[in-house]
Structure 1
């Protein structure tokens, strides 16, 4: 299995290739992307590569993604205790969603603690009205980074389904 450094290198090579291909395609008039869409996609992709890697399920150990969180890295240890390596956290849809859900829980806890113990603090709010369409490129970038990691690990999209089918056949 590739190391964290190899996973990051694969993702960055793909991002560079995508950027180059998109630039060439836009100059040829084949696609139209705004700078904002490109930035949002890239931020989602980079966050998925360096901060929210599927290998956070190993966060009790030394993992690049946990190190990239700096002093906040230990916050991911409970995630690693809940999810076994290459289990649910390494599935194509549920896995990336588990990391986003865990991150949302951490943010809600932090906001709750701040409001409880420091009520005068001004916290940023979502813009009104929140532009949901900005989530599309961020989400696409995030999921693509996750899927590249899984492909490099040799995990196919039907990973969990194949195991479930084998178990059912074994019982029959």
Structure 2
């Protein structure tokens, strides 16, 4: 299995090829991509590659993604305790969602603590629902970065489902 640095290099190389292909497609007018869509895709892809790697289920150890969080990397230790390595956190749909949900939970806890400690502080308003033109590039960028990691690990899209299927069939 590749190391964290190799995973990052794979994702960077794939992003480079994808960006070059998208640029050619846009110039040939085969594809329309706005600057905002390109930025959203790129930011989500970078976040999925460097900050929200599937290997955060090893967060009690030395993991590149945890290190990229700096001092906040300690917040990922409970995530590593919740999920076994290459378990649900390495599934193709649920795994990326668990990391997003975990980030949302940490954010809510921090907001709650801030409201308790400093009740007079005004917090930013919740963002309005995003349009599909904004949401689709975010989702695609994030999930593509996650799936490249899983492919490099040799994790199939039906990861975790095969065991359940065998149990149902009596194998």
Structure 2 residue aligned with 1:36 = 36
By how many angstroms is 1:121 displaced?
Answer: 2.0
Aligned-CA RMSD value: 1.2
Structure 1 residue aligned with 2:129 = 130
By how many angstroms is 1:124 displaced?
Answer: 1.7
By how many angstroms is 1:168 displaced?
Answer: 4.0
Count of aligned positions: 170
Q: Does 1:21 align with 2:21?
A: yes
Structure 1 residue aligned with 2:54 = 54
Deviating runs (4+, > 6 A) in structure 1? none
Distance 1:167 1:60 in 2: 32
Distance 1:123 1:23 in 2: 39
Unmatched tracts of structure 2, length 5 or more: none
> Can you list the C-alpha shifts for 1:20-41, whole angstroms capped at 9, x where unaligned?
0000110001000000000000
Distance 2:21 2:94 in 1: 29
Question: What TM-score, normalized to structure 1?
Answer: 0.94
Unmatched tracts of structure 1, length 5 or more: none
Structure 2 residue aligned with 1:157 = 157
Question: What TM-score, normalized to structure 2?
Answer: 0.95
Distance 2:122 2:7 in 1: 38
3-state DSSP of counterpart to 2:33: coil
